[in-house]
Structure 1
Amino acid sequence: MGLAIACVACMAMFLMASGVASQNGWDNAFATFYGDMSGKETMQGACGYGDLFKQGYGLKTAALSTALFNDGLTCGACFQLQCVNDPRWCAPGTITITATNFCPPNASKPGNNGGWCNPPRKHFDLSMPMFTKITKDYHAGIVPVRFRRVPCIKKGGVRFEIKGKPDWILVLVYNVGGAGDVKAMQVKGSRTGWITMTRNWGQNWQTRRHLLGQSLSFRVTTSDGKMVQSDDVAPANWKFGQVFEGKQF
């Protein structure tokens, strides 16, 4: 019993730290789906993630509307969703997804005419397999849901994919546990101090320091203020396009 109470308290603290706590930590939104049951059209794009299956996200993903996407700062965050208030279409149970893309507004279809991702609407565009886990039939098309932020549970460590060119290093950070969404990144070469990186787009972080020929260490800070430092993740002979694994939250 004591452990259960402690877990509830931890969840409440996480939701407050993530800035999304409302009544009982839940908020209201709507959900649609894209593609078909094959998952071949799994969305990528606005967060900078590449192959979602290779990176471990798979079909448990969603594109977020403007109100939730927060210009990419929400990329990597995890949400629990449940279909509500629609007995005809809602199925019992919940799903947990990771935010991996942006659902753009559609100015030509205002309000309830199909502009589901238009501000200020809170909306999740799910893969069809995930949509059908919370609905009785995909023909529902769009359903009301309630959602809340939850900690991300990821296998393995935080991963760093190094891209760019000699005088411009771009690092995609993914597979981030805990809060999931990264708010700050630092890199350290074996011949430098800690260098603050700037967010380029999605979860791609950049620096214009020349770091070739140096082993690299990273500090990752998530939206709840927690930081993980991974020392000498990339060896001195690292190359562009390689992926390295660090510690996990």
Structure 2
Amino acid sequence: MGFTLEKQMCLLALFVLLFPLLCASQDTFTRSRATYYGSPDCYGTPRGACGYGEYGRTVNDGHVAGVARLYRNGSGCGACYQVRCTNKQYCSDDGVNIVATDYGEGDRTDFILNTRAYAKLALPNLALELFSYGVVDVEYRRISCRYSGYNNLMYKVHEHSRYPHYLAIVILYIGGQNDITAVELWQEDCKEWKPMRRAFGTVWDMENPPKGSINLRLQVSGTAGVTWVQNNNAIPDYWNAGVVYDSTIQLT
């Protein structure tokens, strides 16, 4: 049975009313608190819980933070957020876009920003006033990660890797609003995918990895749901500790 013209007009009016609400729900901010930690050069720390090393200090122009419940056992490493404080006397409207590179707990805070990022919360010339508070009320939302000059996901062979007996990788430049929740490695002799262990943060490892170039597949959880992304020849044979390899794949 078809809809009458009157019913169609009612449905159209209902859609017009609901559409702005549906769009707004995708941009909802969550209330929380934020504080900061000091460092000699205002950047992050190379010894963070995500395992990023020097990358965790300088990525995103050095605007980084430690997170508490957003750490999510390491799967929250590399997530990007817009954070803005709510004191309109001192705080800018846009706040700062940060990357989660560490774990940290404060006084009922979700974010412990480095001083470089914390200063960006403030209006021009008012950063010192904001620092005097120590802890500020904020609101935040998850945003897509985008890195200038880096479109592809990268794999860094962790410095503790020992060719050919032990392989650990760190996953860098995760684009979009995506989390890596599992990593598997193709075992050619067994003809099966074998899980790598999440050692900590975003560091995945395996004892006695297979010889030859290494095929990986990643379980990606994001705005499109949960899916597997396969990456053949992700890491070459005769890999070296400390070297970063281009995955040639993009997560958007």
Q: TM-score, normalising length from structure 2?
A: 0.74
Instruction: Tell me if structure 1 keeps the 8 A contact 2:46–2:56.
Output: no
- Residue in structure 2 matched with residue 173 of structure 1 by the alignment: 171
Matching residue of 1:157: 152
Partner residue of 1:197? Answer: 196
Match of 1:145 among 114, 138, 146: 138
2:233 corresponds to which residue? Answer: 232
> How far off its partner does 1:81 sit?
0.9
**Is contact 1:44–1:52 with CA below 8 Å preserved after alignment?**
no
1:241 maps onto 2:242 in alignment: yes
Q: Tell me the equivalent position of 2:111.
A: 124
Q: 2:214 aligns with which of 195, 213, 216?
A: 216
Amino acid across the alignment from 1:75: C
- Partner Cα distance (2:34, 2:230) in 1: 36
- Give the match's secondary structure for 2:59: coil
The size of the alignment, in residue pairs, is 216
Deviations 1:48-96 (A, max 9, x none): 101026873441211012x222222211111111111x23332222321
TM-score, normalised relative to structure 1: 0.75
Q: Could you tell me which amino acid in structure 2 is paired with residue 31 of structure 1?
A: A
Q: How far has the Cα of 1:28 moved from its partner? A: 0.8
- Is 1:49 equivalent to 2:49 in the alignment? no
Cα 1:48/1:180, change in 2 over 3 Å: farther
SS at structure 2 position matched to 1:176: coil
Deviations 1:89-119 (A, max 9, x none): 3222232111110114xxxxxxxxxx51xxx
Deviation at 1:203, TM superposition (A): 0.4
Post-superposition Cα deviations, 1:15-56, rounded to whole Å, max 9, x if no partner, equal 6xxxxxxxx521111111222683245464100101026873
* Counterparts of 2:33 and 2:92, CA distance in 1: 15
Change (3 A) 1:40 1:99: closer
2:6: which partner in 1? Answer: none
- Pairwise CA RMSD of aligned residues? 2.9
Unaligned runs of 5+ in 1: 1-5, 16-23, 105-114
**Distance in 1 between the 2:135 and 2:82 partners?**
17
Question: Contact 1:55 / 1:175 at 8 angstroms: preserved in 2?
Answer: no
Greater Rg, structure 1 or structure 2? 2
Deviation of 1:124 after TM superposition, in Å, equals 0.6
Structure 1's 169 and 103: CA in aligned 2 closer, same or farther, altered over 3 A? Answer: same
Segment of structure 1 superposing worse, 161-170 or 151-160: 161-170
Paired residue type of 1:76: G
Q: Deviations over 1:158-204 (max 9, x none)?
A: 11122423333211111111224311112236665432212111001
Q: Which moved more, 1:26-35 or 1:88-97?
A: 88-97
SS in 2 for 1:147: strand
Question: Matched residues in 2 for 1:41 and 1:185: separation?
Answer: 27
Structure 2 residue 209 is the aligned partner of structure 1 residue 206: no
Kept in 1: contact 2:31–2:138 (CA 8 A): yes
Q: Check whether the contact 1:179–1:222 (CA below 8 A) recurs between aligned residues.
A: no
Q: Gapped runs of 5+ residues in structure 2?
A: 1-18
Kept in 2, the 8 Å contact 1:89–1:143? The answer is no
Tell me how far apart the structure 2 counterparts of residues 175 and 144 of structure 1 sit (CA, whole Å). 29
1:31 equivalent to 2:34? Answer: yes
1:62 maps to a residue whose letter is A
Quick one: higher RCO (CA 8 Å, sep 6+), 1 or 2? 1
Per the alignment, do residues 133 and 55 of structure 1 end up closer, same or farther by CA in structure 2, a change over 3 Å counting? closer
